[in-house]
Structure 1
Amino acid sequence: MTDRKPYAADRLQSRGRLFAERISTFRSPYQRDRDRIIHSSAFRRLKHKTQVFIEHEGDYYRTRLTHSIEVAQVARTLAGALGLNTDLAEAIALAHDLGHTPFGHTGEDALSRLMEPYGGFDHNAQALRIVTSLERHYADFDGLNLSWETLEGIAKHNGPILDAAGVPLKGELPVALAEYNAQHDLWLHTHASAEAQVAAIADDVAYNHHDLHDGLRSGLFSEEDLMELPITGPAFAEVDALYPNLEKMRRRHEALRRVFGVMVEDVIAVAEHRLGAAQPKDADEIRHLGMTIIRFSDRMFRELKVIRQFLFHRMYRAPSVVAMRTEVTQVVQDLFALFLDDPSLLPEEWHEDVAKAADTHALARIVADYVAGMTDRFALQEHVRLIEGSKAWPQEPYRG
């Protein structure tokens, strides 16, 4: 691990929390944030939320939980190698997907369309809403009361959201971001910390790696297909040269871990070069550089784009995946319409929020919060219970 750099987030210089708390005697603010995220209900629910394949389709496929753990591992590695704050990078990485709906991006696409008349839906903004409002376990505040730096990273790890004049860079500012930013300014017009940028690139590294693993396991493509692609082809060729006649699963693992390593080494090399050229004196200079400092090289980006195009056609839009997407889209649409029409069907603990809803927009946001929080299996079971009447899905009973 490299010595901490001056532009790393300093635990002693944190901008603090919305609600002041006594400082821990044995944990930094970012360690405390990490622990609160891990112990949250939303984090546990990621166990039964889709990454690519619906949760009940197989025990070996990644879920949002295993994906988040892999992202956190990559983030800690990158942050350590670059002399950044590993605890902050890990906390942001663990929280980055808390706002995902059941059924992955399919569920988000469906809920986004349904929420268009009511202010829209965005999973990054929903993650912020969860950690600042929807988690309700503490006596003194709603949410997890995370530090400013962790909240900033959750909100804008993919880059600025507003321009210098405060105008959204893409579409409208998500409601959850606008509401929270009005009371706790997260500097939505700047880039995020280096640690948040590490979490963002770690997400790319993790899914580019594990989607290849899961696609091979599903049988949607083969190792021979990957030998025709950049990065993966040389990786398999290297393994074949070093280990002739290696058994299939070991060969696969050895090749894909080389793919993993190539991506990580590329990010570190590019970041070291860009940081060396910029010479930022502190964390705020990173935010105001006007560019992403943690990124892939141009060559790596182009080669990964080829792989992503391959995965799009052979995996994300494979007929079996598309068929399941159609089914689960209908599930989300049906549940949203049902609860919006009759909010009394929501669990009792949601009734107080419903009673406070000033208009249909506010009610729709509550329904979206509830549906987005569902796991795959719970959404399917509720669809059966409330709409279908009877249908056997291959899953265990939902126990909350």
Structure 2
Amino acid sequence: MTWNNCFSPKRFGMENASEDIRSEYERDWDRIIFSSPFRRLQNKTQVFPLPEEVFVHNRLTHSLEVASVGRSLGKIIGKKISDLEEVKNDNKARPFYRNSLKSVIASACLAHDLGNPAFGYSGEEAISKYFKKRDTQKIEDINFKNNFSDAEWQDLITFEGNANALRVLTMQQQDRSKGGFRLTYSTIGSILKYPCESLASEKKILHRKKYGFFKIDEKVFLDIVNELNMIPDNVESRITYKRHPFVYLVESADDISYNIIDFEDAHRLGILTYEEVSTIFLDIIKENPDYDIKWVTEQAEILKGDPNESISYLRAKSINTLIHKCSKVFWENRDQILKGTYEKSLLEDIPELESVMKKIEKISIEKIYNARKVVKLEIAGFRIMSSLVEDFVSSALTPKDNRDNEQKKILELLPKQFSFDESSNPYVKVMHIIDFISGMTDIFALKLYKNLRGIEI
């Protein structure tokens, strides 16, 4: 892999693209923005329950903000790469980095959460809960598990939003276009945060901490990594690759956004005080040599009549500081990043900010992610999502002639684009069910759960 061959304007699922006034990469952005899965993010929880009277971030607003940060990172790094000796004389690579990398990173950021289910961080585990409950030594559970290969079973007991994002972007649903969103390979490759199969995941290794594709999408994944000349990882008998360089920028944009924005939301909800949040933000800002910290502090104090406005001001300065710090880390480690030997996230490799970022993590775990309203949402999410999986999966895997009336009615609720062929193997049937459930919004999942249990007609 080189800077000259790690990108491609080709579209997944299309032989030839029609000409347009927009670049191929700008068209990626538009395809995501106008898609149904993207719109549904507005009713999916980020961290805090969907707001009643105080506005906090949901998956959609988070994705838009990550895309904004990602565009800035892509623009900074793109300009630097375009001036490299091996790039500046390449009439395809130079204009790509100078003009289009920012669009690729922004589009990938926009799409990075499309595979995340409802109810925040608990949604993924909730989908797997039914299968984990069936992982016992009881005869009926052993027979159930025998329906799946080891790789398929690993997918089901460790449902992964990152792998699901690839599936959402590329799968062909019934009566829909081949190739899914038909994005460029460059944009799709930029979201492959964990480019390995589920059986190859290893928590201690950054690029294999989780996994990036379901077994059902193996051919799709291999097509993408081959087109982008990604580097195979040396893991015997497992499918795993080194990260694509652009992934680090997308990951960084996400890390910056949620670390800072979760604090801002926690302040709006009264979980964290003004002093707690402003102190943390000022500790970040003071490491930016372009800012006069005394002046920034004075401006924040002037705005303190509206504490939310003051925090917003400091949030903007904090994000800008982190963008430039992460860009610097990327550039200093660009050779390792290109070779696939860089095993850190950019945000955790800023020595002067290490202590403050650890403080953010500690406070987030203790006060934000374990806040009462967040915990209550997670518990509800577990029960709602795992129950829906159980209802639909048990119905789908019961032979057609043996289904009772209730199971038949449940499957009639499955939208046409998620329907399956009765002759399909159990794993394919289950994946169609998960496609449906993982795409639900919080509100839709709750309503369906109530309907199926007779709580609400």
Scaled by the length of structure 2, the TM-score of the pair is 0.72
Q: Are residue 39 (structure 1) and residue 34 (structure 2) matched?
A: yes
Q: Which amino acid in structure 2 is aligned with residue 111 of structure 1?
A: I
Distance 1:88 1:240, change over 3 A: closer
Listed as ranges, the gaps of 5+ residues in structure 1 are: 1-5, 279-284, 392-400
Tell me the alpha carbon deviations over residues 190-240 of structure 1, each in whole angstroms, 9 at most, x when there is no partner.
Answer: 22133x321110001111111011101111111123356475587798644
Alpha-carbon distance in structure 2 between the residues aligned to 1:59 and 1:357? 49
Alpha-carbon distance in structure 2 between the residues aligned to 1:110 and 1:137? 29
Task: Find 1:126's aligned residue among 164, 168, 181.
Answer: 164
Task: Find 1:212's aligned residue among 263, 266, 288.
Answer: 263
2:216–2:428 CA contact under 8 A, matched in 1? no
Measure how far apart 1:42 and its partner are: 0.6
Distance 1:88 1:356, change over 3 A: farther
Measure how far apart 1:315 and its partner are: 0.8
Alpha-carbon distance in structure 2 between the residues aligned to 1:15 and 1:288? 23
* Secondary structure in structure 1 of the residue aligned to 2:121: helix
Q: Which residue is 1:64 aligned to? A: 59
Q: Which residue is 1:264 aligned to? A: 323
Alpha-carbon distance in structure 2 between the residues aligned to 1:136 and 1:206? 36
Q: Which residue is 1:282 aligned to? A: none
Q: Are residue 180 (structure 1) and residue 231 (structure 2) matched?
A: no
Q: Are residue 51 (structure 1) and residue 64 (structure 2) matched?
A: no
User: Which of structures 1 and 2 has the bigger CA Rg?
Assistant: 2
Alpha-carbon distance in structure 2 between the residues aligned to 1:60 and 1:183? 42
Q: Which residue is 2:245 aligned to? A: 193
Measure how far apart 1:359 and its partner are: 3.4
Alpha-carbon distance in structure 1 between the residues aligned to 2:378 and 2:48? 10
Q: Are residue 336 (structure 1) and residue 393 (structure 2) matched?
A: no
Listed as ranges, the gaps of 5+ residues in structure 2 are: 80-96, 133-144, 146-152, 202-207, 231-239, 287-292, 397-407
Percentage of matched positions with identical amino acids: 24
Tell me the alpha carbon deviations over residues 257-311 of structure 1, each in whole angstroms, 9 at most, x when there is no partner.
Answer: 2222221121122233334xx4xxxxxx954242269713133244212201101
Alpha-carbon distance in structure 2 between the residues aligned to 1:27 and 1:135? 27
Measure how far apart 1:390 and its partner are: 2.7
2:40–2:441 CA contact under 8 A, matched in 1? yes
Q: Which residue is 2:298 aligned to? A: 241
Measure how far apart 1:180 and its partner are: 2.3
Q: In terms of mean alpha carbon deviation, does 251-260 or 114-123 score higher?
A: 114-123
- Provide the aligned C-alpha RMSD in A: 3.2
Alpha-carbon distance in structure 2 between the residues aligned to 1:329 and 1:86? 37
Measure how far apart 1:348 and its partner are: 5.1
Q: Which residue is 2:376 aligned to? A: 323
* Secondary structure in structure 2 of the residue aligned to 1:355: coil
1:30–1:147 CA contact under 8 A, matched in 2? yes
Alpha-carbon distance in structure 2 between the residues aligned to 1:351 and 1:252? 44
Distance 1:350 1:381, change over 3 A: same
Measure how far apart 1:178 and its partner are: 2.5
1:271–1:293 CA contact under 8 A, matched in 2? no
Q: Which residue is 1:112 aligned to? A: 128
Scaled by the length of structure 1, the TM-score of the pair is 0.81
Q: Which residue is 1:386 aligned to? A: 452
Alpha-carbon distance in structure 2 between the residues aligned to 1:222 and 1:23? 53
Q: Are residue 73 (structure 1) and residue 132 (structure 2) matched?
A: no
Aligned residues: 371
Task: Find 1:89's aligned residue among 98, 105, 110.
Answer: 105
Tell me the alpha carbon deviations over residues 358-392 of structure 1, each in whole angstroms, 9 at most, x when there is no partner.
Answer: 2333222222111101000001111111114239x
Q: Are residue 369 (structure 1) and residue 448 (structure 2) matched?
A: no
